[in-house]
Structure 1
């Protein structure tokens, strides 16, 4: 972050010459931070000038969710503005009921508190409870707004690996099929012309006799999107009993893993690419499918 330095709750930028006011800073700096943010911070005393230094109170101390029992967190990437956590199977990203603990946000709160960071984690996207892989979290409101904008503009890219049933007729393709609720089941989704537009890109990485390793990329992020789309094609995920997948001894969940996440660092705009290794159950199932070919 050239020219920038975090000092506790404050982000500091140093100019070449003394500044007469907040608005005397380099126009590129003003544009980067955002005029609306600067006006709000200046009014509340959270944007001040001291000589050549512009100080922005971007990281006010915040209380996270009540952490509950201690939880470990596997951190794949971290800077002053955000972190990427590796979500294990069986853990929700955030609470869905009052008083619920044991979520990824709770684990992130423990990590931040024990590392002396008094801030509240904010999830930018989600994964299903039993899907593994990287989840992007913002550490302050300004970073959340910047990263939310990247999500809306489809500049955050997520790549998944899935182990699915059957043989594919083509090595790659696009699934453009709207997804809506299944009125016959409280949690299941289905392809429906009256649903929300959903687009998934897939590529067959390895074709086995009656199964395949598939790489997937999302253009949209509907609930259960990959699971619904692959089942719609006739290729449900192993272990995904909700959508017709066969059970497998190696894995007690749907065989879906988020293996790569790319985004732009909120302040510098530099590209960040984060990879997550396959979890053990996914690897075991892949090895068995691979060995069955021999």
Structure 2
């Protein structure tokens, strides 16, 4: 893993970068030090040595033994660099596999990584429901995952979804802040529950279609609970169109939810990244409403 020192980090040392900027766990920092896994411009230097703009840090990572099972499946790559990968998930594909199913996005990404000579370990940073489409972010190594996981938890990765909701939503902007828990009467369904997990969804109505009785909305999340958008929209009386599990109409073959965009500052290059996922449905769901 190669990282060029940016202007903002000049004068810091390796210890400060690892602890204060990227917030690597203490165990990871200790392992890197013990393994002598870090070089600066090709040399093993003291970790307290101040770094200069343009210096190159090379981190040699331990390879994980817990590798994924690669499966050859179509994969649309939206963004890729040495640290991370963003792909466009189609409907009907689970994000990660289970005991009986290895045709997941994780398996497809593992196959791609193997094809480019990398270890087939697909580290997803977040996930989408099986019938939700759109962008999913993966880390290409263990350290990238540590940093991206923390960024997601700290809401430094902005996720924007587009949805078609049943009915005409009158408020052009709104916030749904109610906790979500399991539905004890159904194995997979979630529900609003006082004892559930804290959850906030923000929405913005982009367009309303009175003839079809639909609202096109943009959603962003402060939290990432299972089925969060689906549960919250159903709670306010505007379930996702096509979402039969939560009371939606049968207008579409799946819930009309698409992870449209990811935005964040790249943790290792400090470049602003914006990733937009094209629509994948055939027949189309969103296109005629744009």
User: Normalising to structure 1: TM-score of the pair?
Assistant: 0.82
Alignment of 1:163-182 (within 5 A): 163-182=164-183
- 2:225 alignment partner, SS class: coil
Secondary structure of 1:217's partner?
strand
SS of residue in 2 equivalent to 1:148: helix
Structure 2 contact 111–120 (Cα < 8 Å) conserved: no
Distance 1:266 1:284, change over 3 A: same
- The residue that corresponds to 1:66 in the other structure is 69
Please say if residues 82 and 143 of structure 1, whose CA atoms lie closer than 8 Å, have aligned partners that are also in contact. yes
* 1:239 is aligned to 2:242: yes
Q: Output the CA distance in 1 between the equivalents of 2:190 and 2:129.
A: 13
Deviation at 1:27, TM superposition (A): 2.2
Report the Cα distance in structure 1 between the residues aligned to 2:219 and 2:255, rounded to whole angstroms: 15
Residue 286 (structure 1) shift: 5.2
Instruction: State the number of aligned residues.
Output: 266
Is 2:243–2:256's contact at 8 Å kept on the other side of the alignment? yes
| 1:11 equivalent in alignment to 2:2 | yes
SS of equivalent to 1:127: coil
- Between 25-34 and 208-217, report the one with greater CA deviation: 25-34
* 1:101 Cα deviation from its structure 2 partner: 0.4
Aligned to 1:40: 31
Q: Which residue of 2 aligns with 1:139?
A: 140
Give the aligned partner of residue 227 of structure 1.
230
Cross-structure match for 2:90: 88
Give unpaired runs (5+ residues) of structure 2: 46-55
Please give the alpha-carbon distance, in whole angstroms, between the structure 1 residues aligned to 2:149 and 2:184. Answer: 31
Q: 2:12 aligns with which of 27, 30, 33?
A: 27
Residue pair 2:68, 2:120 contacting (<8 A) in 1 also: no
Match of 2:275 in 1: 274
Asked whether the 8 Å contact 1:77–1:84 carries over to 2, the reply is yes
TM-score, length basis structure 2: 0.83
For structure 1, the residue ranges without an aligned partner over 5 or more in a row are 1-9, 15-24
CA RMSD in angstroms comes to 2.4
Q: Which residue of 2 aligns with 1:205?
A: 206
Deviations 1:67-113 (A, max 9, x none): 24x11211100111110011110111112x33530111110011111
| CA distance in structure 1 between the partners assigned to 2:161 and 2:75 by the alignment | 21
Give the counterpart of 1:79 among 81, 86, 95. 81
**Whole-Å Cα distance in 1 between the matches of residues 284 and 62 of structure 2?**
40
Cα distance in 2 for partners of 1:286, 1:195 equals: 35
Q: Is this contact kept in 2: 1:178–1:192, CA < 8 A?
A: yes
Contact 1:227/1:236 (CA < 8 Å) preserved in 2? yes
**Alignment partner of 1:191 is 2:192:** yes
